[in-house]
């Protein structure tokens, strides 16, 4: 008698509210969407941030930039990570680091410079393919938004994967891959709260 109830319970967990199941990456470098990563863990090898308030911004030379933002209700844990080939914070907030985070990859081996086809092979069809617009650039790359009207876009398309983690109905998660010239130009992984 208890077996049918147990099966029904697990079906409710996976079907739940009708939200799509997230099939994007669960990790990028040390950042994890299943178990929130303490910001301290992410910062320990990067160096002291300019400020002890989120977001925390780092640059590796002039070729890679990293922004880490806290979860709003749990400020000691990271809720968003953005890694890109262009600055994603104001210049006075970026700390230069000797740590080359360009090598940070998802568990499936996707990182900056990965082919678009590898993203699709790893995660399947995206929830949506977005054509980047000024509003998207303001949201993710606000310091460059004013320059983008006259410059080439930072992505030709954005592959969006979002949904809830399987078995965790209140775990909305999203991943965005900015694609430029058929390669990953930037990756944003978010625990939406």
Q: Are 127 and 162 in contact (CB under 8 A)?
A: yes
Distances (CA, A) of 52 to 56, 58, 181, 186: 8, 13, 36, 25
- pTM for this predicted structure: 0.81
Q: Which regions in the chain score pLDDT beneath 70?
A: 1-17, 134-153, 193
Q: Is 150 exposed, middle or buried (0-12, 13-18, 19+ CB in 10 A)?
A: exposed
The string of pLDDT tens digits covering residues 115-161 is: 999 999 999 999 999 887 766 666 666 654 444 444 556 788 999 99
Question: What pLDDT does residue 121 have?
Answer: 97
């Amino acid at each position: 008698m208890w077996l049918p109830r147990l099966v029904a319970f697990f079906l409710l967990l996976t079907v739940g509210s009708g939200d799509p199941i997230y099939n994007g990456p669960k990790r990028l470098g040390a950042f994890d969407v299943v178990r929130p990563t303490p910001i301290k863990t992410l910062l320990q090898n990067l160096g002291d941030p300019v400020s002890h308030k989120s977001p925390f911004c780092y640059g590796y030379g002039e070729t890679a930039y990293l922004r880490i933002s806290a979860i709003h209700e749990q400020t000691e844990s990271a809720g968003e990570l953005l890694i890109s080939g262009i600055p994603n914070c104001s210049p006075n907030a970026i700390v230069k680091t000797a740590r080359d985070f360009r090598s940070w990859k998802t568990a499936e081996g996707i990182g900056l410079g990965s082919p678009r086809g590898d993203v699709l092979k790893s995660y399947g069809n995206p929830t949506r393919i977005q054509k980047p617009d000024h509003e998207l650039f303001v949201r993710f790359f606000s310091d460059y938004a004013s320059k983008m009207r006259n410059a080439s876009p930072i992505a030709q398309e954005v592959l969006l994967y979002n949904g809830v983690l399987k078995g965790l109905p209140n775990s909305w998660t999203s991943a965005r891959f900015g694609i430029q010239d058929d390669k990953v130009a930037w990756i944003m992984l978010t625990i939406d709260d």
